[in-house]
Structure 1
Amino acid sequence: FPILITSDLISLYLILALGYFVAKSFGKKPINGVLIALGSFLMLTPFEMTASFPTETGEEISTLVSGVIPITNFGPQGIFLAMIVGIVATRIYVYFDNKGFKIKMPASVPENVTNMFETMIPASMVFIVFMLVRVACMHTEFGSAQELIYGLLQGPLQSIGGGYAGAFLYIFLGLVLWVFGIHGSMLLYVAMAPIANAMWAENMTAFASGLPAPHPEWLYMYFTNLGGSGSTLALVLLMAFLGKSEHFKTLGRVALPTSVFNINEPVIFGTPIVLNPVFALPFILAPSVNFLLTTLVNSMGFSVLTGAMQNNYYPIFALQALSTGSWTGVVWTIVLLAIDLLIYF
């Protein structure tokens, strides 16, 4: 049930947030943006689905059931459509509102009544636009806007950027950006959020159904960056216990408690790793090796990720145990940490 009202409805939450913030950014009432974006999204949503029923002879027959909404329209499969509709619908409303397509009310009329009448015409025009889009999509081979956007846009993008190559690129480029002092993972998340969120949501849905994670590579972050970006826990341990410089010894001991919880900004800027070609090499190499080796052991069935999302700031070993639901996650973390120690040494 928690999965049903969270990740299975992620597109619904996204459309509400986009309507709110797009309207607010143009100085319009956010609630108007929320309602118009949601209404436009529902305008494109088919209220019918194909259902299968067993007959008395044991055979199954399929029929079209009207008056129901397939829950998949509000899940990961609808993320791209939700983004498009949330932005476009609200922007059309802003355009019509700015052009004065609204009913003017006297100043003596209460504000809530005035808002209702002033929004009526712009909102109606937006809904008419999306009703026409719905009708046009029904006459395509896809049958609905959800299937059209997924088939032409989201599906191909996920197949290109959502596999192992996409996940590795997401991690690798984030590390490179960190070397130049830019928070790589945050910056790349902004660019790849539609793909990443779709991958994570599909993993969680599979986990809730007791199925293997369809995209385990997007969960390798739990093993890739031990101690934070760059897998710097190994570096912190070396500095704290083997460092010959007082600066490195002190930094290692100060950074060790936070590194256990995957927070390593003191190390990145205090070593420094930023703009440091010597430390940049192991900083990028260690997580890359961790990713490739984790891919190997996961395919062999040793340390298999469950698909459940975890908080990245859980302490090391606990995080990996929860992400695999097994002691094998802890064992594999110890192996990777030993390899990282060698790389940084």
Structure 2
Amino acid sequence: MNTFLEKLENTLSPIGTKLGNQRHLKAISSGMMFALPFIVIGSFFLILAHPPINMELYNEQTANFFMKFLASWRGFADEYYAQITLPYNLTMGLFSLYTVFGISYQLSSEYKLNPAMNGFISLVTFLLVSTTISDGGLSTEYLGTNGVFTSIVVALLSVEISKLFKKPQFQIKLHETVPTAITVFLNSLLPLLVNMVLFYGTSLILLGAFGQTFPQLVMNVLTPATGIANNLWGYIAIVTFGNILWLFGINGPSIIFPIIFTLGIANTGQNSELVALGLEPTNPMNLQMFRIAIMGGSGGALGLLVLMVKSKAKHLRTLGKLSIVPVISGINEPLIFGVPLVLNPILAIPFIITPIINLILTYYAQVLDFISMGFIVDPSFTPFFAQAYLSSLDWRNVVFTFILIAMNTVIYYPFFKIYEKRFV
């Protein structure tokens, strides 16, 4: 094992070091850390709004105290859903806003520019190309994780444009008695104007030519075809595609979600009809496969979480403990951007491999009747073990998920130890 780890480290560490020191990639990685506190807190509110109970199966006459408590929680969450999820909508729901500011702030610092001013220039520019105003309201569709790719492009390019105006011929110099704030204000006008004209002009051209904004075009290009989704290997290809996008900071699951979630719902409905007729469910490509694909979030993150909680590195250990509740409920953005997994060539390998193995094992475990096929549409954003039971009402499925987590931990272990050494 030591020889294997040494060879792996000698191969991957130089690549990771080179990428980590590249100015723009470093800005992306560090800039996304700005959003980490927001997504950690926001995820808790999302869990609070989705208690782990299926009300279609709830019977008040036979329910115990715990189930009655969950039912009351569900009633409270449904009644005050808008109020409970408001913190989520203003944190994770505006993730790209925090990202574009953070990345431009970090890159400006690398260039010795005014980081705060360039951060706000990028923020305004991003809003111009990513949102619209209708009836006095601001569209937030691409201000969350769906707009991350756009925010990265805008942040990097806007700083590069602003950097051009740092040259002496573009600088306004005033007498030393004039307050610094006035000088900063005057010197920010030209780069702000140029950025707004270039980006907004490009956005209008795209809208006129294709009838879509830049973020919409990106999403359409990245959305794969749905025809292969009902096949195990096609399903794996789609899930892998989404996970690869995550490694570049793009919310891949949000792109593939309409494909595999809709497929899972339809096939689970077919299984449910069979069970209602007293027959056995027959379709393994049900919603349970989707839950396994994102168990602990993308990339089989529960295995990584187990290692982080016991890590020798304080940063990884602390982040792991903070992420326990979100990750067991399938929300792993704190790990994606906090570890970070984005642009991480070492952890990218298990991040891609782990879900593939999980899906293959789950498919054949259902076909061979080691576990039950899913026939119930279980609640989202609930702990993975609750979803495993509620999807099939079979405790074997719960045990199976813990076996998968143990395997995932083993897969992540050698790569994690290499990455951990950097912090130790």
Q: Is the 8 A contact 1:89 1:126 kept in 2?
A: yes
For 2:114, the equivalent position in structure 1 comes to 29
Closer, same or farther in 2 for the Cα pair 1:324/1:33, shift >3 Å?
farther
Q: Is the 8 A contact 1:18 1:87 kept in 2?
A: yes
CA distance in 2, matches of 1:213, 1:70: 33
User: In percent, how many aligned pairs have the same letter?
Assistant: 18
Amino acid in the other structure paired with 1:321? F
Given candidates 191, 205, 213, the residue that maps to 2:247 is: 191
Closer, same or farther in 2 for the Cα pair 1:108/1:132, shift >3 Å?
same
Q: Is the 8 A contact 2:94 2:144 kept in 1?
A: yes
- Show the 5 A alignment for 1:44-63: 44-49=129-134
> Deviation string for 1:172-194 (max 9, x for gaps)?
xxxxxxxxxxxxxxxx7873431
Q: Is the 8 A contact 1:321 1:329 kept in 2?
A: no
- Show the 5 A alignment for 1:191-230: 191-196=247-252, 198=254, 216=291, 218-221=293-296, 228=303
Amino acid in the other structure paired with 2:384? Q
Closer, same or farther in 2 for the Cα pair 1:294/1:126, shift >3 Å?
same
Q: Is the 8 A contact 1:320 1:329 kept in 2?
A: no
More helix by share: 2
Closer, same or farther in 2 for the Cα pair 1:120/1:338, shift >3 Å?
closer
Asked whether 1:335 is paired with 2:400, we answer yes
CA distance in 2, matches of 1:231, 1:72: 33
Once the two structures are TM-superposed, the CA of residue 11 in structure 1 deviates from its matched residue by 2.0
For 1:321, the equivalent position in structure 2 comes to 385
Q: Is the 8 A contact 1:223 1:291 kept in 2?
A: no
Given candidates 85, 104, 127, the residue that maps to 1:42 is: 127
Once the two structures are TM-superposed, the CA of residue 71 in structure 1 deviates from its matched residue by 1.9
> Deviation string for 1:97-152 (max 9, x for gaps)?
24642322222222222211121222222112123213212311233223233223
Once the two structures are TM-superposed, the CA of residue 158 in structure 1 deviates from its matched residue by 11
Closer, same or farther in 2 for the Cα pair 1:121/1:287, shift >3 Å?
closer
Structure showing greater relative contact order (alpha-carbon pairs closer than 8 Å, 6 or more residues apart): 2
Asked whether 1:294 is paired with 2:362, we answer yes
Point out where structure 2 has 5 or more consecutive residues left out of the alignment. Answer: 1-85, 229-233, 263-286, 308-320, 328-351, 411-424
Asked whether 1:122 is paired with 2:195, we answer no
Once the two structures are TM-superposed, the CA of residue 289 in structure 1 deviates from its matched residue by 4.4
Query: Normalising by structure 1, what TM-score?
Result: 0.54
Q: Which range moves more in the overlay, 285-294 or 112-121?
A: 285-294
Amino acid in the other structure paired with 1:4? N
For 1:143, the equivalent position in structure 2 comes to 212
For 2:76, the equivalent position in structure 1 comes to none
Once the two structures are TM-superposed, the CA of residue 218 in structure 1 deviates from its matched residue by 4.4
Given candidates 60, 79, 85, the residue that maps to 2:148 is: 79
Once the two structures are TM-superposed, the CA of residue 37 in structure 1 deviates from its matched residue by 0.6
For 1:242, the equivalent position in structure 2 comes to none
For 2:89, the equivalent position in structure 1 comes to 4
CA distance in 1, matches of 2:293, 2:166: 42
Closer, same or farther in 2 for the Cα pair 1:325/1:13, shift >3 Å?
farther
Q: How many pairs does the alignment contain?
A: 246
- Show the 5 A alignment for 1:242-257: none
Q: Quick check: which has more Rg, 1 or 2?
A: 1
Q: Is the 8 A contact 1:28 1:94 kept in 2?
A: yes
**RMSD (Å) for aligned C-alpha atoms:** 5.0
Asked whether 1:68 is paired with 2:137, we answer yes
Q: Is the 8 A contact 2:241 2:252 kept in 1?
A: no
CA distance in 1, matches of 2:288, 2:169: 51
For 2:202, the equivalent position in structure 1 comes to 133
Query: Normalising by structure 2, what TM-score?
Result: 0.45
Aligned-partner SS, 2:176: coil
Point out where structure 1 has 5 or more consecutive residues left out of the alignment. Answer: 50-64, 172-187, 207-211, 233-257, 263-283, 311-318
For 1:155, the equivalent position in structure 2 comes to 223
Once the two structures are TM-superposed, the CA of residue 199 in structure 1 deviates from its matched residue by 5.8
CA distance in 2, matches of 1:114, 1:227: 51
Q: Is the 8 A contact 2:131 2:138 kept in 1?
A: yes
Asked whether 1:13 is paired with 2:94, we answer no
Once the two structures are TM-superposed, the CA of residue 39 in structure 1 deviates from its matched residue by 1.0
Amino acid in the other structure paired with 1:79? V
CA distance in 2, matches of 1:194, 1:126: 23
